[in-house]
Amino acid sequence: MTAIKHALQRDIFTPNDERLLSIVNVCKAGKKKKNCFLCATVTTERPVQVKMVKVKKSDKGDFYKRQIAWLLRDLAVVDAKDAIKENPEFDLHFEKIYKWVASSTAEKNAFISCIWKLNQRYLRKKIDFVNVSSQLLEELPKVTEESVPSGENQSVTGGDEEVVDVYQELNAREEQDIEIMMEGCECAISNAEAFAERLSRELQVLDGANIQSIMASEKQVNILMKLLDEALKEVDQIELKLSSYEEMLQSVKEQMDQISESNHLIHLSNTNNVKLLSEIEFLVNHMDLAKGHIKALQEGDLASSRGIEACTNAADALLQCMNVALRPGHDMLLAVKQQQQRFSDLREQFARRLASHLNNVFVQQGHDQSSTLAQHSVELALPNHHPFHRDLLRYAKLMEWLKSTDYGKYEGLTKNYMDYLSRLYEREIKDFFEVAKIKMTGTTKESKKFGLHGSSGKLTGSTSSLNKLSVQSSGNRRSQSSSLLDMGNMSASDLDVADRTKFDKIFEQVLSELEPLCLAEQDFISKFFKLQQHQSMPGTMTEAEDLDGGPFSRQHNAGVPLPVSSEKDMIRQMMIKIFRCIEPELNNLIALGDKIDSFNSLYMLVKMSHHVWTAQNVDPASFLSTTLGNVLVTVKRNFDKCISNQIRQMEEVKISKKSKVGILPFVAEFEEFAGLAESIFKNAERRGDLDKAYTKLIRGVFVNVEKVANESQKTPRDVVMMENFHHIFATLSRLKISCLEAEKKEAKQKYTDHLQSYVIYSLGQPLEKLNHFFEGVEARVAQGIREEEVSYQLAFNKQELRKVIKEYPGKEVKKGLDNLYKKVDKHLCEEENLLQVVWHSMQDEFIRQYKHFEGLIARCYPGSGVTMEFTIQDILDYCSSIAQSH
């Protein structure tokens, strides 16, 4: 136990300036034995505080930790359970009763005795001791604290403070005397026993001398005894006085303790007052709203700029007061509850007043803006909403305040804004598209012809009228193609070009008006309603979600603010509802343009692609980007439909059996389409769509040219193929379409092949017998007959050769060539102007045949002297003369 006392004193009580007086090993009664120590301690500083401390051994190691402490003055009763029998149980009555069982009765009695003595010394018998043996309560002589040495040499047992004998070092004088004695006795160093014996003898001599001196001085002894008796009486008197002084000092000590405790309570009260003042100042500074702010919230003018600024400042101050972080316990104060209720009432009142005012502003905007529609009805321009946005943006901070304080009213304002503005924009946009359609068609009568009725801008008319219009337009293009091919330009009339240019400008102006309108409204919605529009977004919202209210209504009926990712959804949802008429109106306008001229789809595809690309660069998920992207899909479908219609028209082409074919209509239309497309798609973003269309069209042209050539009765197949593929090759060479380089080479090859085929076929007729004769000669040589022996064949001898040659004199050859020229002239069309090219090819082929015949005569009939009756020069003269004469 002693080791534990020292350990506890060292580790726990010395750091806290306390001294351990008594200790008992206990456990709680009636529970599992979890041992701990009850320690009686006093502080080393005045005023002295007597405590009882519960110390428990830590679960994580061999060290002890302080668990709980009680002041001894809070102890009311000590119950030892039995004053006669030995019983280790005892109870301590503090604010509640603690029941303990000591490890031994002796430890319990020693601990209770220590408590009794501390009670006598410091508390003046304030504790009741019940069932305690009277022997334990005997008062021992008081030991002053000053008589008890402090430090490590101090030991406490059972509450008594006794001085323990310890080794004391010699002082300097004692050391000096011993050294002198040892110098006089040198043997002390060599023989300690002799030295001790000598000292003993000397001591006996001295004692004897002392006794003899005393006995000789008996009178003096009597006097000394008398003096001692008197001294004892004086001592008794002094002790009585000291006792009285001690009682007086004890009273003074108690008064000083009371004063010290009173000072402690005064200090504690002052500290509490300072803390209370700090809390009150905190509440006053953070939860006090100025009267000017209250007046602004209740009566502030929301129509003037100064009033809006005052209301904004007041709303911010109110929000700061409501959002102040209260310290623990503040919310239980009645004044705080009343102030919070006052703030809530002010917030509700101002939010209601603000919402009502802004609703009136929205309604007034609809009326004011409607009055400006008349001046825009004749112009292709949308009304400017910038003044309205500028006026409303003054309330942006108040809307932010409303969003954070009363989300229900904020949401209501948002819906009202969408309702009012959607009706306003619907009127403006429909009138705008009405003007655009009238400008496209020219007059109101023409617009009715194209199925445009009323201000709604809806297109009517059956599919048959659309087909009829397409057939008429294609027929016009075919009729104009023949007169414009020699110009090397598109095969559309100047009127068609003007109409298409006009349509292109109107369509571009429509998109250019819509784009800033949507962007300005989206930017205003973001700023006014405090919605972030530059965060990453998860996908787009469908129109069906918008009609049902979308996630905005489903997730925020309880007034919970939107997360950042949903705020952009809300912007897009608001834009969809406000501009819900843009997409159908654009689709109607596109249908009208396609109805007027199917080639308008090319203009629309380029313009729409450019605007979609621009919108996606700004914000890929914005309303404008999404809407224009949807409309672009419609335009692309119309473009694909235009290509499919052209291919279908190619397949349905029927040629006359009585007239020559010439350049087929769909070949001319392809030239017109390609020229128009190249001028439109120059530097366009969607060049790939055009390249795909080119591939489909050119394949259709190739296939159907060959089909028509096979069906032609009046014009030879080679002529049809040669003329049309020459035209295709010329068109591709002029336009330099990179994706059709392979088709250009194929067209040139087909043109060359069919030109050669037609020339060879045609030249077989003027020298028909001569051709048959030499074909027979070549057949004999092919059978193995030597060339010089062919003349011995009966059917191919020299006489037969001369006979055949005489049938083709120069005059007859010229006549045959003239008839051939006339026949070729009848086969070829004037548009393509290939007559001279064909005639020159025939001339070259005829000369090649002539040289071939001359070579066969020289090899097969050597030395016969047989020659043709006309020369190469004669052939050149004949051909030139015939060409000039025609």
CB 861 within 8 A of CB 801: yes
* Residue 93 covered by a domain: yes
Query: Whole-model pTM?
Result: 0.56
- pLDDT bin (cut points 50, 70, 90) of residue 377 is low
Domain extent, residue 873, equals: 795-885
Residue 61, both tokens: 């190691």
Q: Is the pLDDT of residue 181 over 90?
A: no
Let me know whether 223 and 112 are in one domain: no
Cα separation values, 707 from 533, 721, 744, Å: 58, 10, 19
Report d(CA 765, CA 763) in Å as an integer: 5
Q: Is the pLDDT of residue 53 over 90?
A: yes
Report d(CA 42, CA 121) in Å as an integer: 12
Identify the residue with better confidence: 879 or 128. Answer: 128
Identify the residue with better confidence: 67 or 367. Answer: 67
Let me know whether 109 and 21 are in one domain: yes
- pLDDT bin (cut points 50, 70, 90) of residue 765 is low
* Residue 262 covered by a domain: yes
User: Across residues 287-294, what is the average pLDDT?
Assistant: 87
Let me know whether 120 and 233 are in one domain: no
Angle formed at CA 750 by CA 743 and CA 660, multiple of 5 degrees: 115
pLDDT at 272 (0 to 100): 92
Residue 373, both tokens: 């529609």
Report d(CA 450, CA 57) in Å as an integer: 101
Choose the final residue of a domain: 136, 157, 190.
136
pLDDT in tens, 601-621: 888 888 888 888 888 888 787
Let me know whether 128 and 207 are in one domain: no
For residue 255, the SS3 value is helix
Report d(CA 263, CA 273) in Å as an integer: 15
pLDDT at 451 (0 to 100): 46
Let me know whether 10 and 113 are in one domain: yes
Q: Is the pLDDT of residue 447 over 60?
A: no
Q: Which helix (H) or strand (E) holds 55?
A: strand 50-57
Lowest mean pLDDT among 93-102, 248-257, 494-503, 761-770: 761-770
DSSP state of 767: T
CATH number, domain containing residue 110: 2.30.29.90
Let me know whether 131 and 256 are in one domain: no
Let me know whether 104 and 220 are in one domain: no
Report d(CA 71, CA 43) in Å as an integer: 11
For residue 20, the SS3 value is strand
Identify the residue with better confidence: 266 or 216. Answer: 266
pLDDT at 158 (0 to 100): 40
User: Across residues 457-480, what is the average pLDDT?
Assistant: 36
Report d(CA 648, CA 653) in Å as an integer: 9
pLDDT at 157 (0 to 100): 37
Report d(CA 601, CA 635) in Å as an integer: 6
CB 485 within 8 A of CB 668: yes
Let me know whether 29 and 123 are in one domain: yes
pLDDT at 149 (0 to 100): 37
The total of structural domains in the chain comes to 3
Choose the final residue of a domain: 83, 113, 136.
136
pLDDT at 39 (0 to 100): 95
* Residue 822 covered by a domain: yes
Q: Is the pLDDT of residue 799 over 50?
A: yes
- Give me the amino acid identity at 695: T
Identify the residue with better confidence: 39 or 721. Answer: 39
Let me know whether 118 and 217 are in one domain: no
* Residue 234 covered by a domain: yes
Residue 705, both tokens: 């040219």
Let me know whether 106 and 209 are in one domain: no
DSSP state of 146: G
User: Across residues 6-23, what is the average pLDDT?
Assistant: 90
Residue 753, both tokens: 């092949």
* Residue 246 covered by a domain: yes
User: Across residues 766-789, what is the average pLDDT?
Assistant: 83
For residue 375, the SS3 value is helix
pLDDT at 544 (0 to 100): 33
User: Across residues 510-520, what is the average pLDDT?
Assistant: 90
Looking only at the bridges linking them, the beta strands covering 156-157 and 89-93 are: unpaired
Count CB atoms within 10 A of the CB of residue 642.
Answer: 21
pLDDT at 269 (0 to 100): 92
Q: Is the pLDDT of residue 281 over 80?
A: yes
pLDDT at 670 (0 to 100): 87
Alpha helical stretches, state H, 185-217: 187-190, 192-216
pLDDT at 470 (0 to 100): 36
Choose the final residue of a domain: 108, 136, 164.
136
Residue 73, both tokens: 């003055």
pLDDT at 881 (0 to 100): 73
| Residue 227 burial by Cβ neighbours in a 10 Å radius (0-12, 13-18, 19+) | exposed
- Give me the amino acid identity at 369: Q
User: Across residues 152-157, what is the average pLDDT?
Assistant: 37
Q: Is the pLDDT of residue 759 over 90?
A: no
- pLDDT bin (cut points 50, 70, 90) of residue 676 is confident
Q: Is the pLDDT of residue 371 over 60?
A: no
Peptide bond just before 47 cis, omega within 30 deg: yes
Report d(CA 160, CA 136) in Å as an integer: 13
* Residue 871 covered by a domain: yes
Mean residue pLDDT of the chain comes to 79
Angle formed at CA 246 by CA 243 and CA 248, multiple of 5 degrees: 115
* Residue 346 covered by a domain: no
Report d(CA 635, CA 329) in Å as an integer: 68
pLDDT in tens, 334-356: 888 888 899 899 889 999 999 99
- pLDDT bin (cut points 50, 70, 90) of residue 858 is confident
Lowest mean pLDDT among 108-122, 389-403, 824-838: 824-838
pLDDT at 138 (0 to 100): 66
Count CB atoms within 10 A of the CB of residue 529.
Answer: 20
Lowest mean pLDDT among 447-451, 831-835, 867-871: 447-451
Q: Is the pLDDT of residue 73 over 80?
A: yes
Residue 11, both tokens: 């580790």
Q: Is the pLDDT of residue 329 over 70?
A: yes
Q: Which helix (H) or strand (E) holds 777?
A: helix 768-783
Count CB atoms within 10 A of the CB of residue 7.
Answer: 13
CB 439 within 8 A of CB 506: yes
Identify the residue with better confidence: 371 or 715. Answer: 715
Report d(CA 631, CA 299) in Å as an integer: 50
Let me know whether 9 and 97 are in one domain: yes
Q: Is the pLDDT of residue 872 over 60?
A: yes
Helix and strand counts by DSSP (H, E) for the chain: 31, 12
pLDDT in tens, 619-636: 787 888 889 899 999 998
Lowest mean pLDDT among 104-118, 266-280, 664-678: 664-678
Residue 471, both tokens: 């057939």
Let me know whether 108 and 214 are in one domain: no
pLDDT at 494 (0 to 100): 56
pLDDT in tens, 203-220: 888 888 887 777 777 777
* Residue 626 covered by a domain: no
E-assigned strand segments in 840-883: none
Give the neighbor-by-neighbor strand order of the sheet with 18-28.
Answer: 64-71, 50-57, 36-43, 18-28, 97-102, 89-93, 77-79, 128-130
pLDDT at 21 (0 to 100): 92
- pLDDT bin (cut points 50, 70, 90) of residue 185 is low
Q: Is the pLDDT of residue 546 over 60?
A: no
Residue 884: phi and psi, rounded to 5, are: -70, -35
Q: Is the pLDDT of residue 202 over 50?
A: yes
Cα separation values, 623 from 360, 552, 615, 636, Å: 27, 16, 9, 20
Looking only at the bridges linking them, the beta strands covering 18-28 and 128-130 are: unpaired
**Residue 94, beta-bridge partner list:** none
User: Across residues 272-284, what is the average pLDDT?
Assistant: 87
- Give me the amino acid identity at 419: D
Report d(CA 354, CA 357) in Å as an integer: 5
User: Across residues 866-881, what is the average pLDDT?
Assistant: 77
- pLDDT bin (cut points 50, 70, 90) of residue 363 is confident
Lowest mean pLDDT among 257-271, 561-575, 693-707, 797-811: 561-575
Q: Is the pLDDT of residue 454 over 60?
A: no
